[in-house]
Structure 1
């Protein structure tokens, strides 16, 4: 996973010196100098010696900085690959769950010619005692707490310096006693226990050289009276590190626009002065026609930079460069649902949770750019930084660059336990806010995962956000309640479940049922076999066994419901014959489910859906759950389901109503769009009676129905004039007499019911009710084969007057009941009609499995969205796909190389018949292995006879060695 080109080695921090104008920095990361690590207990009597020059002790291990103790031992080859088999489960925890010394020696660069030399730490987990040349500088606590030490009088400018850090592990239980820390490190339902609990020097270490006055955390706020004008407010804390009062000048330049400003100030010896600038003082800080920062799909994520310079007289004492986006967030809770708006426009949130960037904290630098770009390619616009588990600044830089909003958590999880040191927790929270508040991407601060922070932390967090972020972002105390619709469920569901009122949550029902804003929902996502072989030994590949469970496909990941996932593969695609067949079929289950999660919410945009985030959108550990792309960056079926569903302008099919809708999550209104639907049998021939066309307008942030595919136009009402039994009320025969003006009415009690005897068993999957004004606000549709034992098919929590169509999973039943729970008025329930429909109705000339092709064209005829579904007469049975004629597809490719990248254009064609679910891969010509990571435009697509499609693949040229080249493999589901 961690190829050299992805390791953090930014030019800004390269040793010996990187220069930003006249202020210099020198990296002390292990890419620049040598660090070593050793257990404190084994250092023993050498504890004082290691702080001095000339120490030559034995048994030290080369350390990775930034990184963790355990990952250093892994990199040194002293532990078996923790990704493979059950290796990490067999590590001796006691070896790492203790304190370690880090040690290095460095020299001060010759170019450091200013008065003050600083030693800077960006983060240590969980605490670190810092020593330089034998002197203890401080103890840093918490991975967000920075250490900035004036070492001018202590450092040797002309010789070696000894830097040592004693690092301690977090206290158990991490949740929440040991916080602030990487809470999931003690294991979760997606990663194993990490030896050492990810303790180590986990962020950058560097030297810097300044004059007597320095800047701390410049803060740039943007306000938009209108989108045609931005008002910039700047606050810079200036610290005087000398023994004399100083008069200085702050000079700044904002680009683009070449907006300059300067302000003189006085700062007392050893004190901090805040220098403030606003449009009232500097008219050019009102920017007309600004380039706004927009989330992905709504516009470009435009960024500005401000270069700050501090001077005393003619001497430049400090320089900083801050990137920022001009934007303004606003929020409302209309209808009990949280909505987020940016620059005055509501944003429908489509995104995913990040559990961690990588379970051993080995994601660095450019890898964040790759991960976030893949999210952009999936058409996401939000990432939830779950439990604040990603702390690297490169994450925020990439989100700013690609227009990805960040829902940013702190380090608390659904537990009434307070951190052992609540003051230190709060200090780290303030550090986080101050460090990252300039990033345009942060849209929301969240206090606690599935719980409210215990007093006093909830109040402290709210006050810290008010003080240090000016409430420019919303503070959400709990991740799944308070105008949110809960979290979960996480098991694999029939795609129709996500379209049906209402997809239930597991934790935190929020302020009422609904789609709403769901902070977590997900399913197991099995990888392709190529990735599986990288972490599961061959003898454990098949059948399912405990080794799978070690990678979270079993009881270790109970929330993922792997048994249901297994069963769904067999029910929908047929019993797998081996691991190759299992992983192949799994990808189509992944596509179905993950596409439906987003389309179910999109189809109900603002009624009442405002967004959904999958659990999870990226992979922190090689596993079979919680991912879109996998740990090795292979793009699973889930990736392609998400990418399709989250298109900014998208055409979709609602399988519960057969409605075809156009969803528009952009800032643009589209007129005269042409929506088309065509249905094809398995031989590739169109069933023309289902063809539909419509011309529609699609307005920004709307879901608009185009038409309904008439699959059920001739379907018989199974309940018509069948026997009816009710708990009360007369005229029960009026409920299914075919007359929509006659009605049944019950007594004025909540628990009344009525059922229809279909007189024989049928596979039923849909009911249609027509409520009089006396409706049921809450009720269930229940099914039975004996009128004694009832199974809930649908629970409705927000009933309404008038027609209501309800779909559910096909179930064999003879009796269908409406069971009232709560009346919507003071009267008894009153129904005009109660109709029941079955899945065993007339096939209408369709094969057991058939295909739906949707196209959306703009007014000029240009294709702007395309979608494809496979549908069964039994909506859960696609086993007929296994009877498709075996065939191969043809490919031709054009390969170019420029700017350090390979670009491969692949034309795929099907000359002989239906090629279902074609998977295209770029392979290494010599090794035959996948070339990963790569950006791919399309995959798992279907071609009919004579059709072709183009796939574009992009990857770094460093992924191929001399003599190697990319070769293309393209196979449909029905390959020979």
Structure 2
């Protein structure tokens, strides 16, 4: 089990004192023998960073205890990349603002020293010390206490481990020196690569990006525990569990060890297994406990792990230990879920697509492509916010295209019921594998082994993709699959996720990657529309004005220019501008006159885009569509391209459009056929529902058409409720309001569309990232909505354990005017920024005359920054008002 990172910045001196006190007391087993000190300490503090360009001392010297880093070195906290360490020391400042990143020089043309000192536990008979590096990028020479451990550690995603028992200074200080050679630019090494998502980091993420650990064990260490779970599908009333763990003999003589494990969960019987094993000198062996040999591993009535919206993500605990000579030599523990993912194929429009089941139930995976901070910085608060936002948007999946190694995110996904779709990245050395060197082939296999070991035990992992845009060559694919077999990988795999390069891929990647009107997702004759299974597609998505102001100077906010577009895709790529999105705004909503006007209209378009995207995929689920990934979930830095929420966690139009579309039970409108669907994304059927569709002219809100239909929403299915006819006499811009109510009239789903008698139409030209737009809808009628000053808001607040919940009631007291696209926000102070991260039960609301609604907002007190909370409400035709929260 990974060491907790809840308090990663404790002073090492304090840790050292605590450890020495514990070690001095000794640990005595029942037989009277002194046991080894057991534990795993993350080496986070006491480190320094320096360019090797002007360092003449050798690694043997730098790795001596007491070597001075007082001059010319920058103190850093691990994990850290080179650039992360330099920015933490203000060598480069505010690099995400404007075009400041351009001022950072290329940092890959030199090597970099990381040096740290740390204490080690006092020695006991049989004590073993092991150093583990979870991630070094790209090459490293490693010294400990004057001795070189490795002259050529290579591979950003390869874990490295060393037995340092003979080199450690027990009960004293020790020194590590690591000389890092960065990856080369343009994704030419098997390193981390963001392709065209953003500018490349000037250091290409060189450094010790993963956790660095000192493990202390007895003669036998345990590694990579894992429980494989198999259900007798379609039944789920039992499960066969197989427990695997590697045992490592760290001595130069045979050792007999007893490996024992327990599987437990409150309210369920505890399972115990044990076996004796003799390991040869230096041997690492996989130990297996199978149901055939241990019948207790056949579990009846298991508590199953279910993804979000399907049920509870139940987890069990595996605790496993190795004992030698009557003393505990090592222990490990993990949480795991009893569940089984399976795949199937369905042909749609002549192409074979992959679909997935969990515990025998069809599941429509829907999610976004995750990327960590450009400098690969993350922490528990950030990881938790990502998981919280994914769930709040009604998504159930995160794709990790090469963004592998944030193991805390995996743990949080397990607990939240969020599925993970990991795999290697596209458009880089990872896919240009036909010309690999022998070293690259070895690095690729070792990378897969390291990452699959980290992922295989997680209940959340449902798929591994060996390639993205293109499949690996046959030889490398065979090598990859051999790794998966050896590791007992229990989940489906895909060779790649793009049918354009592999007809049998099972997923398509036919774009778009720039803005398209909502009708594209619904028109299943078009590339990128909602049929089959897609590995990714998405659009530009400029964040709200409040966020734009955080990374752009006032002069760069408007008109859109160089600095603004620098925060689109990678410079020099086809994505280094958001012109298609801006064209959509200008031609549909009217040419923007200022940054504020542009943002106001962008929010409408972002909402439209993501809502229609997920609605189209959901409406066809399990018949024509089987899974979709929006490109992207978030962004590596403040970006105006590809995200459902921005770098600062401020939720905007894209976020709330996704949240609306992915309601558990949702009513939606098909822009292409005028059909109305009710989508039930849960495993419980809903009967006695009524779907109502009403069409209104703008600006007078005169009703032009209304209809109703009784609906039974089958579990985990989409149901067509009705079809709107062609309606005459409509204003150029009009409203379509859909409502779904239950048998007592309570609202289940309320959804408002704005559209035009001049519809969006698509052109005949299409490529891998764009379909041309022939005509644009005329939505300028929204600008003629009557101003509505008659919106009132009240709020109450509860505070508990550092968390706050605001209950907000908003009323439209006007008798004639709609309150359109209302945005309630909890702000830090009167007129301050929105507190983030924050979740709302609903947002971007619209209220008809006389209507009211109540929502809640949840956030952390600490995120107010000491300011009093206020409620700010504004809308498309509603002036801004702010009141204090009581």
Instruction: Work out which of the residue numbers 473, 488, 492 in structure 2 matches 1:473.
Output: 492
How much does 1:604 deviate? 2.3
Supply the distance in 1 between the matched residues of 2:444 and 2:660 (Cα, whole angstroms): 41
Instruction: Work out which of the residue numbers 700, 711, 718 in structure 1 matches 2:715.
Output: 700
Q: In angstroms, what is the RMSD of aligned CA positions?
A: 2.6
Q: Does 1:311 align with 2:212?
A: no
Supply the distance in 2 between the matched residues of 1:503 and 1:318 (Cα, whole angstroms): 57
The equivalent of 2:183 in structure 1 is 170
How much does 1:47 deviate? 4.8
Instruction: Using the TM superposition, name which of 33-42 and 950-959 deviates more.
Output: 950-959
Contact 1:400–1:439 (8 Å) recurs in 2:
yes
Supply the distance in 1 between the matched residues of 2:15 and 2:545 (Cα, whole angstroms): 42
Report the 3-state secondary structure (helix = DSSP H, G, I; strand = E; otherwise coil) of the residue aligned with 2:454: helix
The equivalent of 1:805 in structure 2 is none
How much does 1:166 deviate? 0.8
Contact 2:199–2:571 (8 Å) recurs in 1:
no
Q: CA 1:126 to 1:662, structure 2 compared with 1: closer, same or farther past 3 Å? A: same
The equivalent of 2:226 in structure 1 is 219
Q: CA 1:560 to 1:48, structure 2 compared with 1: closer, same or farther past 3 Å? A: closer
Contact 1:485–1:514 (8 Å) recurs in 2:
no
Contact 2:840–2:857 (8 Å) recurs in 1:
yes
The equivalent of 2:769 in structure 1 is none
Instruction: Work out which of the residue numbers 437, 451, 455 in structure 2 matches 1:436.
Output: 455
Contact 1:350–1:646 (8 Å) recurs in 2:
no
Q: How does 1:478-497 map to 2 (within 5 A)?
A: 478-480=497-499, 481=502, 482-497=505-520
- TM-score (normalizing by structure 2): 0.88
Instruction: Work out which of the residue numbers 781, 785, 803 in structure 2 matches 1:884.
Output: 785
Q: Does 1:894 align with 2:830?
A: no
Q: Does 1:971 align with 2:855?
A: no
Supply the distance in 2 between the matched residues of 1:112 and 1:73 (Cα, whole angstroms): 40
The equivalent of 2:774 in structure 1 is none
The equivalent of 2:103 in structure 1 is 90
Instruction: Work out which of the residue numbers 182, 192, 206 in structure 2 matches 1:182.
Output: 192
How much does 1:68 deviate? 0.2
The equivalent of 1:247 in structure 2 is 256
How much does 1:123 deviate? 1.1
Instruction: Work out which of the residue numbers 395, 398, 412 in structure 1 matches 2:409.
Output: 395
Q: CA 1:556 to 1:950, structure 2 compared with 1: closer, same or farther past 3 Å? A: farther
Q: Does 1:600 align with 2:616?
A: yes
Report the 3-state secondary structure (helix = DSSP H, G, I; strand = E; otherwise coil) of the residue aligned with 1:234: strand
Instruction: Work out which of the residue numbers 390, 396, 419 in structure 2 matches 1:381.
Output: 396
Contact 1:294–1:342 (8 Å) recurs in 2:
yes
Gaps of 5+ in 2: 28-35, 760-776, 880-886
Q: Does 1:233 align with 2:247?
A: no
Q: CA 1:233 to 1:894, structure 2 compared with 1: closer, same or farther past 3 Å? A: same
Supply the distance in 2 between the matched residues of 1:6 and 1:914 (Cα, whole angstroms): 49
Q: CA 1:219 to 1:410, structure 2 compared with 1: closer, same or farther past 3 Å? A: same
Q: Does 1:283 align with 2:295?
A: yes
The equivalent of 1:871 in structure 2 is 755
Instruction: Using the TM superposition, name which of 391-400 and 483-492 deviates more.
Output: 483-492
Aligned length: 821
The equivalent of 2:167 in structure 1 is 154
How much does 1:952 deviate? 1.6
How much does 1:7 deviate? 8.3
Q: CA 1:441 to 1:23, structure 2 compared with 1: closer, same or farther past 3 Å? A: farther
Report the 3-state secondary structure (helix = DSSP H, G, I; strand = E; otherwise coil) of the residue aligned with 1:691: strand
How much does 1:652 deviate? 0.6
Supply the distance in 2 between the matched residues of 1:478 and 1:849 (Cα, whole angstroms): 39
Q: CA 1:12 to 1:646, structure 2 compared with 1: closer, same or farther past 3 Å? A: farther
How much does 1:198 deviate? 0.3
Q: How does 1:350-749 map to 2 (within 5 A)?
A: 350-354=366-370, 356-386=371-401, 388-413=402-427, 415-417=431-433, 418-420=435-437, 421-470=440-489, 472-480=491-499, 481=502, 482-505=505-528, 515-552=531-568, 556=572, 558-559=574-575, 562-682=578-698, 685=701, 687=703, 690-712=705-727
Cα deviation code 1:75-125 (max 9, x no counterpart): 1111021110111122111x4542101111122246988611222211111
How much does 1:673 deviate? 2.2
Supply the distance in 2 between the matched residues of 1:431 and 1:906 (Cα, whole angstroms): 48
The equivalent of 1:76 in structure 2 is 89
Q: CA 1:216 to 1:941, structure 2 compared with 1: closer, same or farther past 3 Å? A: same
Supply the distance in 2 between the matched residues of 1:599 and 1:158 (Cα, whole angstroms): 61
Q: How does 1:853-868 map to 2 (within 5 A)?
A: 853-868=737-752
Contact 1:524–1:561 (8 Å) recurs in 2:
no
Cα deviation code 1:338-381 (max 9, x no counterpart): 11111111111211112x21111012333212102211111111
Report the 3-state secondary structure (helix = DSSP H, G, I; strand = E; otherwise coil) of the residue aligned with 2:677: strand
Cα deviation code 1:812-858 (max 9, x no counterpart): xxxxxxxxxxxxxxxxxxxxxxxxxxxxxx32xx4333322222233
Q: CA 1:485 to 1:54, structure 2 compared with 1: closer, same or farther past 3 Å? A: closer
Q: CA 1:493 to 1:566, structure 2 compared with 1: closer, same or farther past 3 Å? A: same
Q: Does 1:906 align with 2:790?
A: no
Contact 1:684–1:914 (8 Å) recurs in 2:
no
Supply the distance in 2 between the matched residues of 1:632 and 1:419 (Cα, whole angstroms): 39
Report the 3-state secondary structure (helix = DSSP H, G, I; strand = E; otherwise coil) of the residue aligned with 1:333: strand
Q: Does 1:191 align with 2:198?
A: yes
Cα deviation code 1:880-911 (max 9, x no counterpart): 11111222322211122112212212212221
Supply the distance in 2 between the matched residues of 1:601 and 1:235 (Cα, whole angstroms): 39
How much does 1:442 deviate? 1.5
The equivalent of 1:61 in structure 2 is 74
Q: CA 1:925 to 1:399, structure 2 compared with 1: closer, same or farther past 3 Å? A: same
Contact 2:199–2:570 (8 Å) recurs in 1:
no
Report the 3-state secondary structure (helix = DSSP H, G, I; strand = E; otherwise coil) of the residue aligned with 1:85: coil
How much does 1:202 deviate? 0.6
Gaps of 5+ in 1: 506-512, 713-841
The equivalent of 2:858 in structure 1 is 954
Cα deviation code 1:395-451 (max 9, x no counterpart): 211221221222211245375344442112111111111221011121111122211
Instruction: Work out which of the residue numbers 192, 207, 211 in structure 2 matches 1:204.
Output: 211
Supply the distance in 1 between the matched residues of 2:317 and 2:193 (Cα, whole angstroms): 34
Q: How does 1:24-43 map to 2 (within 5 A)?
A: 24-25=38-39, 27-30=41-44, 33-43=45-55
Instruction: Using the TM superposition, name which of 225-234 and 851-860 deviates more.
Output: 851-860
Q: CA 1:862 to 1:312, structure 2 compared with 1: closer, same or farther past 3 Å? A: farther
Contact 1:266–1:273 (8 Å) recurs in 2:
no
How much does 1:941 deviate? 1.0
How much does 1:866 deviate? 2.3
Q: Which has the larger radius of gyration?
A: 1
How much does 1:295 deviate? 1.6
Report the 3-state secondary structure (helix = DSSP H, G, I; strand = E; otherwise coil) of the residue aligned with 1:338: strand
The equivalent of 1:833 in structure 2 is none
Report the 3-state secondary structure (helix = DSSP H, G, I; strand = E; otherwise coil) of the residue aligned with 2:273: strand
Report the 3-state secondary structure (helix = DSSP H, G, I; strand = E; otherwise coil) of the residue aligned with 2:463: strand
How much does 1:709 deviate? 2.2
The equivalent of 1:349 in structure 2 is 365
- TM-score (normalizing by structure 1): 0.80
Contact 1:123–1:145 (8 Å) recurs in 2:
yes
How much does 1:307 deviate? 0.8
The equivalent of 1:142 in structure 2 is 155
Report the 3-state secondary structure (helix = DSSP H, G, I; strand = E; otherwise coil) of the residue aligned with 1:276: strand
Q: CA 1:383 to 1:321, structure 2 compared with 1: closer, same or farther past 3 Å? A: same
Q: Does 1:51 align with 2:43?
A: no
Contact 1:9–1:365 (8 Å) recurs in 2:
no
Contact 1:853–1:868 (8 Å) recurs in 2:
yes
